[in-house]
């Protein structure tokens, strides 16, 4: 039986995968998540999902590895993790009344089989214009 590894330490991604009730391991990919100059939010999500999966697959070539990343795209501008309450409030104010796209990429890699596939889901969310 092949090993399945989630290339993430996110408790949310772990919880999603646990719903499938199949055994897996979680490993931190230690990937630099800094955006490149002029990189679009969708390109960033795809690049990071692939980089995370590849980082762990390089260490565990027999395993099936899942890498994922989600980037917030507000009017073509990348919104990173706020990091604190004050910046979270500012981000919510910026998104007020806007349609925001959550760019979510998932990459699955298994070096032993030569399999590699990445998909992008773009989820549009309309934020209410609240005070």
Q: Which helix (H) or strand (E) holds 53?
A: helix 41-59
Choice among 32, 69, 73, 129 that is catalytic: 69
Q: Which two tokens stand for residue 72?
A: 């917030």
Could you confirm whether 69 is annotated as catalytic?
Answer: yes
- Output the 3-class SS for 94-128: HHCCCEEEEEEEEEEEECCCCEEEEEEEEEEEECC
Distance between alpha carbon 76 and the CA centroid of its chain, in Å? 17
Vertex 8, ends 37 and 127: CA angle to 5°?
A: 65
Structure tokens at 21: 């009730």
Question: Residue 68 and residue 75: Cα distance in Å, rounded?
Answer: 22
Hey, which residues are catalytic here? 69
């Amino acid at each position: 039986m092949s090993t399945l590894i989630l290339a993430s330490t996110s408790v949310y991604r772990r919880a999603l995968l646990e719903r499938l009730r199949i055994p897996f391991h979680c490993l931190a990919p230690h990937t630099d998540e800094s955006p490149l100059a002029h990189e679009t939010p969708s390109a960033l999500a795809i690049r990071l999902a692939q980089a995370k999966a590849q980082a762990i697959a390089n260490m565990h070539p027999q395993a099936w590895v899942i890498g994922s990343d989600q980037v917030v795209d507000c009017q073509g501008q990348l919104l990173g993790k706020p990091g604190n309450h004050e910046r979270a409030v500012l981000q919510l104010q910026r998104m007020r009344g806007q349609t925001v796209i959550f760019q979510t990429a998932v990459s699955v890699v298994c070096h032993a089989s030569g399999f590699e596939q990445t998909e992008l889901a773009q989820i549009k969310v309309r934020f209410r214009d609240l005070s």
